[in-house]
Amino acid sequence: MGLLSDPVRRRALARLVLRLNAPLCVLSYVAGIAWFLALVFPPLTQRTYMSENAMGSTMVEEQFAGGDRARAFARDFAAHRKKSGALPVAWLERTMRSVGLEVYTQSFSRKLPFPDETHERYMVSGTNVYGILRAPRAASTESLVLTVPCGSDSTNSQAVGLLLALAAHFRGQIYWAKDIIFLVTEHDLLGTEAWLEAYHDVNVTGMQSSPLQGRAGAIQAAVALELSSDVVTSLDVAVEGLNGQLPNLDLLNLFQTFCQKGGLLCTLQGKLQPQDWTSLDGPLQGLQTLLLMVLRQASGRPHGSHGLFLRYRVEALTLRGINSFRQYKYDLVAVGKALEGMFRKLNHLLERLHQSFFLYLLPGLSRFVSIGLYMPAVGFLLLVLGLKALELWMQLHEAGMGLEEPGGAPGPSVPLPPSQGVGLASLVAPLLISQAMGLALYVLPVLGQHVATQHFPVAEAEAVVLTLLAIYAAGLALPHNTHRVVSTQAPDRGWMALKLVALIYLALQLGCIALTNFSLGFLLATSMVPAAALAKPHGPRTLYAALLVLTSPAAMLLGSLFLWRELQEAPLSLAEGWQLFLAALAQGVLEHHTYGALLFPLLSLGLYPCWLLFWNVLFWK
Amino acid sequence: MAAAIPLSLLVLLLLGPGGWCLAEHPRDSLREELVITPLPSGDVAATFQFRTRWDSELQREGGLSVLLKADRLFHTSYHSQAVHIRPVCRNARCTSISWELRQTLSVVFDAFITGQGKKDWSLFRMFSRTLTEPCPLASESRVYVDITNYNQDNETLEVHPSPTTTYQDVILGTRKTYAIYDLLDSAMINNSRNLNIQLKWKRPPENEAPPVPFLHAQRYVSGYGLQKGELSTLLYNTHPYRAFPVLLLDTVPWYLRLYVHTLTITSKGKENKPSYIHYQPAQDRLQPHLLEMLIQLPANSVTKVSIQFERALLKWTEYTPDPNHGFYVSPSVLSALVPSMVAAKPVDWEESPLFNSLFPVSDGSNYFVRLYTEPLLVNLPTPDFSMPYNVICLTCTVVAVCYGSFYNLLTRTFHIEEPRTGGLAKRLANLIRRARGVPLL
């Protein structure tokens, strides 16, 4: 008894933790990684099942047969679009009205913080067109959305055609209980964001848009469609949304049900579902899919316009028609039937989708890992930080106790005064400076782009990216000299206190991230934890420095890009990778400003300063 | 339903003096009427459901009631039924009264579906029936077809068979023209043994937006997340030059905690001060918020009334069985005297068609309108009422109970304290105490 307060046992326990610290850390780290890898094997991954009663047992017979009509609409749309060079708003309005919808338009404009070179846009203005199918005998309290994002290039016209043909078919039916909104947005995601903000009458991102004239109550679910050919070989489904949010698993199950019913070939992350989970091949293939999903989710960007709906608690996913070299092809009728089935079942919903999982990982379309099973992986990784922090704390404590021990029995309040006396004074400067670096990294690139373009021969977008990299690199040079400002008597304890604070800071951040976006938390933990645990100003410093640089957030991003392309079986060369890296940086900043993605502020204000602290520890003199 | 022109069918049946029990002059007193009107978009109304005897009674009798075919009536966008009973005087001095029974059924047909994408309609297409004979009991049996706005230009639409007479009146501030088909007129049915009124568009109206009423409204919840939100009501006054006041009545359930200081009313970008506000705050679980305002709507404007609220946490037994569906917030009620375009004459109720009494006129220059906006569906923060939720609750309870004792066991140390004998003084004191029978020191 008195396991913690008995000084004898306490000391024994402390000695155990100190002595076994290194093996425990290694064990915990390995266990974390192994647990993650084991997620693809059957006891941990389970079959998906439909939880929502309203969608499970009801049978639906699809009657959509408007394939020709869809193709005709698509041809007309493409022709009009080519002629006008933008979204043919008048044609869309006319056509939607002719199929019997209540049609409205919304114009919006947005000046991006700096030119978007990937999508070639800066001052954006466009018009969204949407038609509402009012359900008979209903009071417009609930609705479903079918949306097609149209970008600047002339893709996705088949999706518009299918949307119109489906609208015409749906209009003739009498069973609708929820209104259906058919939405065509211009400038793909920007248009979707503008429409969603106007629909919910909020302004999150500084978009200027005209207010909506027609509404249809609370949106229950949404499906985004991307199709660029008259025939498809497979349908790819994207679930990852803004900031790694995921739709309810039941929506995915619904899609999968209709894929199976219609005999459609469906893929996840562009990968076919492995058939055999008992042998090693299935799980290995599942691991590839799982890693792709983790990378996508960690990026925090919306992969398709469905991703923006999730913020408003609208369950949504994107269906992408893929036309590859496979022999067997499906026409638009098959896709239309799947969509019709999905909408009819969503129409049956009595409540919002809430029965199934919101937090899950997918190693395949019909397999999932629930949150209870994947969280231990990141838990083990974070335990390393905890153990290291405990070790440091005890070393500091032990050092303090050494002075006091002759005095008498140490109580639990003993460790504080001596260790803090050293810690606080010397910690303030590095903490403040690294946080200031983070703030500069967050604010300066966008703020200073005009100054940069005046003094250097670069474009705005380049200026932002280069300023980002410059500030990032400057951070490496700055703070490791800061502690000289404060004179310390015990230099050893200085860095230990700093590392202790940094470890706890990192563990807290990673824990919070892992709760909201597991993939990001796990990826960051995998890379940052070993370097963070090893960093100290003695031993092979260059090795540690190299390791620390390799696992810094920016290097992580670069590594993720290479891993991403490797898993997609389209490996990158170094130069390509660098180009992609620069583009990804610009996109990250842009997405923060245009959609409110949180990855950029998280890295610049949270993890980068924290990482600088470890850098500081490494070069402590 | 902007694209389609839904058709409103109004069947009014009036049993005049005598009613159903006296049956003195049944032949003279039954009037029936069918009014077919194209509607502007945005028709939202409450649905009443009454049971009446007329289906069994009148089905036998022929006349307009042959059109009441259930499977067609329930394929519509909207229907409402009502029964009115009132005493009426039999003579000028009102020495004796009789009862008037009036049954109405309003149906909104979706012309787009019934017309296979065209806006043409006919009685047969809507009801899968045609009129074959007048009601033998009826003293008056007429069909009115609204052909307003189109009779200046005869090129756009055609009614078949062409009406013998027309009727003009001011309904809701605008002049309306109706074609009349009198079933008691023997020539009307005898020609072809049935009457199938049809309306055909010669030139399909392409960009012709349906006429917008002077006052209409829209309501929605804005914001996202489960903590806060905003109720917004948009009031449209499309009258080109007249402003008029509107009485807006909101009842909001108590679990949306309104912040009255956030009430903002803006029209045309400027703040609009209501001339009268009555607010009765909610009491939890007892009464809802009541907010009543008199707002002046400027001519040709949109007025936005918004008020913020916070979503309350309910007790867990107060949630409905389907809590994730959301909670309904009842519509706002708008009452207004809307200025007319055309002055209405006071009418003689006995002589004019029955449907006139549905649109009461207060005086010539304006008419009364009561509008209900759409109801809203608001999600409240809802616990997950599922098995894992119960498990979590139970586990947390167990952990909370066990934590204290475990912590106690881990941290408490027990020392056996030897009873110390104490000094001489204490021993002496105890001796005395023992003798006195007082507790020892």
**Cβ–Cβ below 8 Å for B379 and A352:** yes
* Facing B377 at nearest CB: one of A4, A171, A218: A218
Report the distance separating Cα A186 and Cα A188, nearest Å. Answer: 5
Stretch (H or E) spanning A589: helix A574-595
Report the distance separating Cα A358 and Cα A247, nearest Å. Answer: 6
At a CB cut-off of 8 Å and minimum separation 6, what does B400 contact? none
pLDDT at B5: 41
> Which tokens in the block code for residue A540?
């092979």
Q: Does the structure show a pLDDT above 80 at B277?
A: yes
Check: CB of residue B17 under 8 Å from CB of residue B98.
Answer: yes
Q: Does the structure show a pLDDT above 50 at B16?
A: no
In DSSP terms, which residues pair with A334 in a beta bridge?
A: none
**Across A354-363, A519-528, B12-21, B401-410, least confident range:** B12-21
B163/A431: higher pLDDT: A431
Check: CB of residue A458 under 8 Å from CB of residue A448.
Answer: no
pLDDT cut 90: percent of chain B above it: 26
Q: Does the structure show a pLDDT above 60 at A419?
A: no
**Cβ–Cβ below 8 Å for B223 and A200:** yes
Q: Does the structure show a pLDDT above 80 at A41?
A: yes
Strands A234-238 and A266-268 turn out to be parallel
**Across A519-533, A564-578, B195-209, least confident range:** B195-209
A608/B46: higher pLDDT: A608
Chain A contact for B235, CB < 8 A?
A: no
At a CB cut-off of 8 Å and minimum separation 6, what does A175 contact? A344, A347
A484/B55: higher pLDDT: A484
Residues B32-52 have a mean pLDDT of 49
Which residue in B332, B321, B314 sits closest to B256, CA to CA?
Answer: B314
Residues B121-126 have a mean pLDDT of 78
pLDDT at B1: 37
pLDDT at A369: 93
Q: Annotate chain B with three-state secondary structure.
A: CCCCCCEEEEEEEEECCCHHHHCCCHHHHEEEEEEEEECCCCCCCCCCCCCCCHHHHHHCCCHHHHHCCHHHHCCCCEEEEEEEEEEEECCCCCCCEEEEEEEEEEEEECHHHHCCCCCCEEHHHHHCCCECCCCCCEEEEEEEEECCCCCCCCCCEEEECCCCEEEEEEECCEEEEEEEEECCCHHHHHCCCCECCEEEECCCCCCCCCCCCCEEEEEEEECCCCCEEEEEEEEEECCCCCCEEEEEEEEECCCEEEEEEEEEEEECCEECCCCEEEEECCECCCECEEEEEEEEECCCEEEEEEEEEEECCCCCCCCCCCHHHCEEECCCEEEEEEECCCCCCCCCCCCCCHHHHHCCECCCCEEEEEEECCCEEECCCCCCCCHHHHHHHHHHHHHHHHHHHHHHHHHCCCCCCCCCCCCHHHHHHHHHHHHHCCCCC
Residues A63-75 have a mean pLDDT of 91
**Cβ–Cβ below 8 Å for B326 and A172:** no
Check: CB of residue B299 under 8 Å from CB of residue B213.
Answer: no
Hey, how many other C-beta atoms are within 10 angstroms of the C-beta on A203?
A: 12
- Shortest Cα–Cα distance, B249 to chain A (Å): 19
**Site of tokens 């052909």:** B147
pTM of this structure = 0.86
Chain mean pLDDT for chain A: 86
Geometric angle at alpha carbon B47, from B254 and B107, rounded to 5°: 155
Strands B198-201 and B157-160 turn out to be antiparallel
Geometric angle at alpha carbon A608, from A603 and A613, rounded to 5°: 155
pLDDT tier, B62 (very low <50, low <70, confident <90, very high otherwise): low
pLDDT at B235: 94
Task: Tell me the pLDDT tens digit for each residue of A322-347.
Answer: 988 888 888 899 999 999 999 999 99
Hey, how many other C-beta atoms are within 10 angstroms of the C-beta on A65?
A: 12
Report the distance separating Cα B216 and Cα B360, nearest Å. Answer: 18
Residues A259-264 have a mean pLDDT of 88
**What phi and psi, each to the nearest 5 degrees, are found at residue A80?**
-65, -35
pLDDT at B132: 79
Q: Does the structure show a pLDDT above 80 at A601?
A: yes
Task: Tell me the pLDDT tens digit for each residue of B198-254.
Answer: 877 766 554 455 567 889 899 999 999 899 999 999 999 988 888 999 999 999 999
Residues A22-46 have a mean pLDDT of 92
Which residue in B313, B261, B268, B270 sits closest to B291, CA to CA?
Answer: B261
A295/A118: higher pLDDT: A295
Task: Tell me the pLDDT tens digit for each residue of A156-207.
Answer: 899 999 999 999 999 888 889 999 999 999 988 999 999 999 999 998 888 8
**Chain B interface, best mutation among A175, A202, A215, A355, by max B CB count within 10 A:** A215
pLDDT tier, A415 (very low <50, low <70, confident <90, very high otherwise): very low
Check: CB of residue A103 under 8 Å from CB of residue A75.
Answer: no
Check: CB of residue A184 under 8 Å from CB of residue A93.
Answer: no
pLDDT at B379: 92
- Shortest Cα–Cα distance, A551 to chain B (Å): 36
Task: Tell me the pLDDT tens digit for each residue of B391-424.
Answer: 888 899 999 999 988 888 888 777 777 776 667 8
pLDDT at B348: 63
A213/A413: higher pLDDT: A213
Domain borders along chain A are: 7-39+374-619, 87-269+302-351
A496/A425: higher pLDDT: A496
Q: Does the structure show a pLDDT above 60 at A620?
A: yes
Using an 8 Å CB-CB cutoff, list chain B residues near A2.
410-414
pLDDT at A32: 95
Task: Tell me the pLDDT tens digit for each residue of A211-252.
Answer: 998 899 999 999 999 998 889 999 999 999 999 999 999 999
pLDDT tier, A57 (very low <50, low <70, confident <90, very high otherwise): low
Which residue in B136, B138, B156, B139 sits closest to B147, CA to CA?
Answer: B156
Residues B163-170 have a mean pLDDT of 80
Report the distance separating Cα A223 and Cα A245, nearest Å. Answer: 15
Check: CB of residue A489 under 8 Å from CB of residue A399.
Answer: no
Using an 8 Å CB-CB cutoff, list chain A residues near B117.
98-100
**Cβ–Cβ below 8 Å for B414 and A1:** yes
**Cβ–Cβ below 8 Å for A6 and B413:** yes
In Å, what is the CA distance from B228 to each residue of A152, A354, B290, B310, B380? 36, 20, 19, 4, 10
Chain B residue with CA closest to A5: the answer is B411
pLDDT tier, A484 (very low <50, low <70, confident <90, very high otherwise): low
Check: CB of residue A464 under 8 Å from CB of residue A589.
Answer: yes
**What phi and psi, each to the nearest 5 degrees, are found at residue B295?**
-120, 135
Handedness of CA A448, A449, A454, A456 (dihedral sign): positive
- Shortest Cα–Cα distance, A277 to chain B (Å): 28
Say which amino acid occupies A241. Answer: G
A262/A380: higher pLDDT: A380
Residues A423-428 have a mean pLDDT of 72
At a CB cut-off of 8 Å and minimum separation 6, what does A475 contact? A434, A437, A441, A608, A612, A615
pLDDT tier, B116 (very low <50, low <70, confident <90, very high otherwise): low
pLDDT at A409: 37
How many CB contacts within 8 angstroms connect chain A with chain B? 106
**Cβ–Cβ below 8 Å for A351 and B223:** no
Contact residues, chain A to chain B, C-beta under 8 Å: 1-6, 94, 97-103, 134, 136-137, 139-142, 171-172, 174, 200-202, 215, 217-218, 311-313, 350-352, 354-355
Angle between helices A608-618 and A460-477 (to 10 degrees): 30
In Å, what is the CA distance from A558 to each residue of A243, A505, A509, B379? 19, 24, 21, 42
pLDDT tier, A410 (very low <50, low <70, confident <90, very high otherwise): very low
Secondary structure (3-state) at A170: helix
Burial class of B116 by CB neighbour count within 10 A (0 to 12, 13 to 18, 19+)? exposed
A283/B54: higher pLDDT: A283
**What phi and psi, each to the nearest 5 degrees, are found at residue A617?**
-60, -40
Task: Tell me the pLDDT tens digit for each residue of A96-117.
Answer: 988 888 899 999 999 988 888 8
- Shortest Cα–Cα distance, A3 to chain B (Å): 5
**Across A318-327, A511-520, B77-86, B308-317, least confident range:** B77-86
Residues B116-141 have a mean pLDDT of 74
Which of the 8 DSSP states describes residue A274? P
Q: Which CATH architecture has domain A87-269+302-351?
A: 3-Layer(aba) Sandwich (3.40)
Q: Does the structure show a pLDDT above 90 at B47?
A: no
Chain mean pLDDT for chain B: 76
Which residue in A509, A501, A481, A423 sits closest to A618, CA to CA?
Answer: A481
Q: What structural domains does chain B harbor?
A: 30-201 (2.60.40), 215-331+373-378 (2.60.40)
Check: CB of residue A243 under 8 Å from CB of residue A519.
Answer: no
pLDDT tier, B275 (very low <50, low <70, confident <90, very high otherwise): very high
pLDDT at B55: 38
Chain B residue with CA closest to A173: the answer is B113
Chain A contact for B384, CB < 8 A?
A: yes
Please report the ipTM that was assigned to this predicted complex. Answer: 0.85
pLDDT tier, A536 (very low <50, low <70, confident <90, very high otherwise): confident
Which residue in A78, A138, A128 sits closest to A103, CA to CA?
Answer: A128
Range among A225-229, A414-418, B426-430 with highest mean pLDDT value: A225-229
pLDDT tier, B278 (very low <50, low <70, confident <90, very high otherwise): very high
The backbone region for A70, taken as left when phi is positive above 0, alpha when psi lies in -120 to 50, beta otherwise, is: alpha
**Cβ–Cβ below 8 Å for A174 and B75:** yes
**Site of tokens 């080519």:** A82
Report the distance separating Cα A144 and Cα A135, nearest Å. Answer: 11
**Site of tokens 């708003």:** A89
pLDDT tier, B303 (very low <50, low <70, confident <90, very high otherwise): very high
